[in-house]
Structure 1
Amino acid sequence: MSPLSLDLSPDLFPALTEAQADPDGPGAHRPALRFGDRSLTYGELAATASPLAARVAEAGRIAVWATPTLETAVAVVAALLAGVPAVPLNPKSGESELGHIVSDSAPTLVLAAQGTQLPPALAALERLDIDIDTSAPAAGLPSPGASDPETPALIVYTSGTTGPPKGAVIPRRAIATTLDALADAWQWTGDDVLVHGLPLFHVHGLILGILGPLRRGGSVRHLGRFETAGVARELSEGATMLFGVPTMYHRIAETLPDDPALAKALARARLLVSGSAALPVHDHERIAQATGRRVIERYGMTETLMNTSVRADGEPRAGTVGVPLPGVELRLTEEDGTTAVEAYDGETVGEIQVRGPNLFTEYLNRPEATAAAFTEDGWFRTGDMAVRDPDGYVRIVGRKATDLIKSGGYKIGAGEIENALLEHPGVREAAVTGEPDADLGERIVAWIVPADPQSPPTVDELADHVARRLAPHKRPRVVHHLDTLPRNDMGKIMKRALTHD
């Protein structure tokens, strides 16, 4: 693993500064952002973002109506140039959630694309329309108001599965170190062209997908909305990397048998990256067989940005999220949260705790929640359960709250059972939970979307299938058949919505 040199200077985007300093130089004409048929070079981005940065520099805190558009990217870049914390707002959020976020973060402005209709929850905020005017001469980029790497850059709200969403305050230091660590792990350079179709209100789509290419001096092509045809087109026209979530890669895997152009395009990619949830092994293998390329996975959270990844020069092993990134410390602990799990046996489950410069600063206005999230010696409690293989690769088996099943004296991760179920030809989608059992403590419950609803696999068939692949104590005791699994905007299965009616 190569050593990591962390650049903690206020300048998050050296290529943008270079383009502004020499507007006629080659760097200014390099492509930076493209959304559909609209695009900006680095020189044009400087010309557009710098006057906006000057307008918001005294705003204190701003909200950004984070549609998948060029305007959102420009707004966030402008906020970072001005050293003003930005709060990305999910356009699909309900009124009560938006009201909570606005009340909690107290922005003074909301930035949105011209013509966008904003919901009533934002009516009290002063609105500033984002004008993409590349004809104006570039103003000087403001000196960032963030001479301190700890200055807040973004406030990203969590999903709120255990209460109202919490605002994770992400400092400039965390953005810089995560993106530089990924550059090391993925051999990511300014020559890379990224394509993705992810939303821009969270870490994966915004920080990795937009700010990542800009920090490297490369470019990003955003699809607006994900379509396999768009992926094929962009990878065939020079894009080198694809970022997606498992739902997207599942659609790719389903499409590949009948779309040789998509298979050819994916085979050209330098790197295919999946994140935000585990990519089923079955989809890994289908994509690899059709394209000769393996998807690599990484692991991160809103509060930690990125923690681990399969490296570009490492083994792309399906079902793992690789090794800790440079600068990130990772340990597994027992249920007491302090006793370390020392085993590297691929079986012993522990909670992931991390420590490093990639972590958030605090939950906004929630000192008690912030304190509870960390151990006394500074480790962040992720709530994710994992095992480590003998070579240090991390395999996540689920969330502590919903995916750790204690059955018959064993601690079992739901994730590995879900992967085994998805290898059954009669299973299209699968989720696994636990429910109380007088004898076992908890019994394993499988929620299945069958490939053929008229002939779904039986509980005995699935139990035998899992027992052969894993171990008898990991077999499901109950099976529910569903038409669909409940998912959020990122494609993650919402297990709390699975009920035993």
Structure 2
Amino acid sequence: MTVLLTSLTDVVDRPAVTVGSDTLHRGELLSAAAAVAAQVSGASAVAIDATATIETVVATVGCLLAGVPAVPLPPDSGPTERAHILADSGAQLLLGTQIEGVSMPAVQVDVRAAAPAPSTEPDPASAALIMYTSGTTGAPKGVVLSRRAIAASLDGLADAWQWTADDTLVHGLPLFHVHGLVLGVIGALRHGSPLIHTVRPKPPAYAAAGGTLYFGVPTVWSRVCADESSARALTSARLLVSGSAPLPTPVFGRLADLTGHEPIERYGMSETVITVSTRADGERRPGWVGVPIAGVSSRLRDDAGHDVEHDGESVGHLQITGSTLFDGYLNNRSKTESEFTADGWFKTGDMAVIGPDGFHRIVGRESVDLIKSGGYRIGAGEVEHALRAHPAVAEAAVIGVPDADLGQRIVAYVVGDEVTEGELSDFVASTLSVHKRPREIRRVESLPRNAMGKVQKRLLRTENDN
């Protein structure tokens, strides 16, 4: 479809979005967003103070109606990061409350405002969002996502998840990431499913929402499993989706036992939106993220650029092509060009294995998760997956540290019950190749994570260097 927000003009008196205690019907959302569109029309880009509020939804929809790129600004961003995003994006105004230290004009979003919607749909090839990456290897980069790319991913997920207007989507994820904003807001508006945003993803709020389709990150699902009554309330749901980080096998199993639903796992990144997923009508395998969605193709390459066998064991560099890819990094042509192969495939930076049946398993980032030990190439993710299968392990993170003999040795950080280092190392060796066992295991109270639940391994590496 060429219209990105397909559902807004259909059945305008049907609820469109609820955030906390605030609800807007489709007609109300369209009118309020149209008022925002009139305010931002002609701007080169507009920043949004992306708090978990109904104002953020109205602001985002307003920018989409106007055809003005929206720049979601994380509310917890520090002054340096915030200044970089605002300057690099070329944002000309800020939708939301004035932020201390930000000199550009701030425009309050009035959810009661009303204006006629624009009569024309912006060009599908035009930029819809500029999403800034986490900046783990430098200053955050602006990922330019077109309306067409977003629509392609959302439509591919509608096919994979059988997502329709009959669903009610529930989540409490941040509104400045692909998961919470693109899938969780724009996806609901494109497919016509009412959205209930719980502000925070607390188990009782999920249980009380009465939805059919739920989004969460592994930390959310772990907490749901720890609250048995809330988990059992989700038995009436149709689909539970986990993403943004690997879902531990014990959480997968516990969630299935309590709710009756094996969760969907999927894979994507800011530059590609969501590209790979298990399917509502297919197998859901713990630790595996499924097959490419419609319009997307994937492949594995070795360091020399040769094909890697799809045998479910061989690790390779994951590359993606298809209709969901971003347009490039804003103001950074050289970086954009370096991330594509000569024949136009995007180099995700992730290491993966693909089975004969096309199922994908992500084993980690090549920059931090590819461990070269004793002449072997080992994905940290597969060792973590093996560790989390042990009943005493709640969480695990694996890194490679310099070793005079091996080149790198495998070090595991583990959260869980008392268990000996030798027992865990032997457990991994019994499920994977012996050379993949951790040489050192460090017990910790918790792992450092970002807002989306991803482990910040650079902090573990820093700790190891000190």
TM-score w.r.t. length of structure 2: 0.97
Q: Aligned residues: percent identity?
A: 53
User: Residue 289 of structure 1 aligns to a residue in which SS?
Assistant: helix
Q: Mind listing any 5+ residue stretches in structure 2 that lack a counterpart?
A: none
**Which shows bigger deviation, 291-300 or 162-171?**
291-300
CA contact (8 A) 1:82 1:143 kept: no
**Aligned counterparts of 1:201 and 1:55: Cα–Cα separation in 2:** 21
Counterparts of 1:64 and 1:263 in 2: how far apart (Å)?
34
The partner residue of 1:403 within 358, 364, 369 is 369
Partner of 1:78: 62
Find 2:45's aligned residue among 46, 58, 61: 61
Pairwise mapping of residues 248-267 of structure 1 onto structure 2 (< 5 A)? 248-256=220-228, 259=229, 262-267=230-235
Question: Which residue of structure 1 lines up, in the alignment, with residue 105 of structure 2?
Answer: 126
Deviation at 1:344, TM superposition (A): 2.1
Question: Pick from 390, 404, 407: which aligns with 2:356?
Answer: 390
Contact 1:95 1:119 in 2 (8 A): no
Q: Determine the C-alpha separation between the residues in 1 that align with 2:186 and 2:46.
A: 18
Q: Which residue of 1 aligns with 2:94?
A: 110
Give deviations 1:184-231, integer Å, cap 9, x for gaps.
111111111000000000110000000001001121000011110001
The alpha carbon displacement at 1:291 in A equals 2.1
**1:144 Cα shift?**
4.4
8 Å contact kept, 2:171–2:197: yes
Deviations 1:117-168 (A, max 9, x none): 5231x2x1111100010xx6x5321134622x22111000000000000000
Which segments of 5 or more consecutive residues in structure 1 lack a partner in the other structure? Answer: 1-6, 19-26
- Per-residue CA deviations over 1:217-250 (Å, capped at 9, x if unaligned) read 1210000111100011113xxx100001111111
1:184-199 pair list within 5 angstroms: 184-199=159-174
Report the equivalent of 1:24: none
Report the counterpart of residue 195 of structure 2 in structure 1: 220
Q: 1:471 aligns with which of 430, 433, 439?
A: 433
Asked if 1:295 corresponds to 2:275, the answer is: no
Amino acid at match of 1:252: V
CA distance in 1, matches of 2:120, 2:378: 48
Q: Residues 230-379 of structure 1 correspond to what in structure 2 (within 5 A)?
A: 230-235=205-210, 239-256=211-228, 259=229, 262-336=230-304, 338-341=305-308, 343-379=309-345
> TM-score normalized by structure 1?
0.90
Q: Distance in 2 between matches of 1:291 and 1:16?
A: 32
- Contact 2:33–2:62 (CA under 8 A) maintained in structure 1: yes
Kindly indicate whether residue 117 of structure 2 is the aligned counterpart of residue 141 of structure 1.
yes
For the residue of structure 2 that corresponds to 1:29, the secondary structure is: coil
Output the amino acid matched with 2:92.
T
CA contact (8 A) 2:203 2:231 kept: no
Give the corresponding residue for 2:421.
459
Task: Name the counterpart of 2:399.
Answer: 433
State the shift of 1:458 in Å.
2.6
- Match of 2:372, SS state, is strand
Aligned to 2:153: 178
Residue 480 (structure 1) shift: 1.4
Separation (CA, whole Å) in 1 of partners of 2:164 and 2:446? 40
- CA deviations over 1:311-348 (Å, ceiling 9, x no partner): 11110111111000100011111013x2121x221100
Amino acid at match of 1:282: P
User: In the aligned structure 2, how far is the partner of 1:14 from the partner of 1:462?
Assistant: 51
* Alpha-carbon separation, structure 1, partners of 2:284 and 2:391: 24
- Candidates 160, 165, 178, aligned match of 2:135: 160
Runs of 4 or more above 4 Å deviation:
none
CA distance in 2, matches of 1:328, 1:151: 20
Residue 17 of structure 1 aligns with which residue? 9
Aligned to 2:28: 44
In structure 2, the CA distance between the partners of 1:144 and 1:488, relative to structure 1 (3 Å rule), is farther
1:180, distance to aligned residue in structure 2 (A): 0.7
RMSD of aligned Cα (Å): 1.3
- Do structure 1's residue 487 and structure 2's residue 418 form an aligned pair? no
